Amino acid sequence: MNEQERVAVANGFRAALGVAVDLATPEGLLSLQKFSEKAQRILARRNIKIMVLADSTVSDNLNKSTSRLPKRYFVQSLIRVLRMAIGEWGGDPDMIGTLRQWTIWYNDTVLAMSSGRPAPEIVLPRQVGTRVPLSLVHGGTDVGKGLGGSWRADPPPDPWEEYGDAAPDRFRRYLDLEREARVFKVYEPRTVPELLQTRDYARAVIAHALPDASEETVRRHVALRMRRFELLYRRPDRPVGWFLLEKAALFHPAVSPEVMQDQYRALLRAMSSRRVTLQVRTSLPRRSAPAGEAMTILRFADGGRSDIVYLPADGPTGTARGSILDQPEDFQEYAVKFANIGRDSKGEDSSRTFIEGLRT
Q: In what order do the strands lie in the sheet with 240-246?
A: 276-281, 240-246, 183-188, 295-299, 308-311, 323-325
Task: Look over the chain and give the mean of its residue pLDDT values, rounded to a whole number.
Answer: 80
What pLDDT score was predicted for residue 52? 87
The answer to whether the CB of 187 falls within 8 A of the CB of 244 is yes
The more confident residue out of 347 and 157 is 347
pLDDT tens-digit series, residues 79-109 = 999 998 887 766 788 888 899 999 999 999 9
Lowest mean pLDDT among 110-114, 122-126, 186-190, 247-251: 122-126
What pLDDT score was predicted for residue 132? 30
pLDDT tens-digit series, residues 135-180 = 322 223 232 222 223 333 344 567 788 888 888 887 888 998 998 8
Percent of the chain past pLDDT 70, that is, above it, reads 82
pLDDT at 118 over 90: no
Distance CA 182, CA 240 (A): 6
pLDDT tens-digit series, residues 42-89 = 889 989 999 988 767 787 787 677 888 999 999 999 999 999 888 776
Q: How many CA atoms lie within 13 A of 329 on its CB side?
A: 0
pLDDT at 134 over 50: no
pLDDT grade, residue 288 (50/70/90)? low
Q: Where does 134-358 sit in CATH, by number?
A: 3.30.870.10
CATH 3.30.870.10 location in the chain: 134-358
What pLDDT score was predicted for residue 140? 30
Nearest to 69 by CA among 11, 21, 17: 11
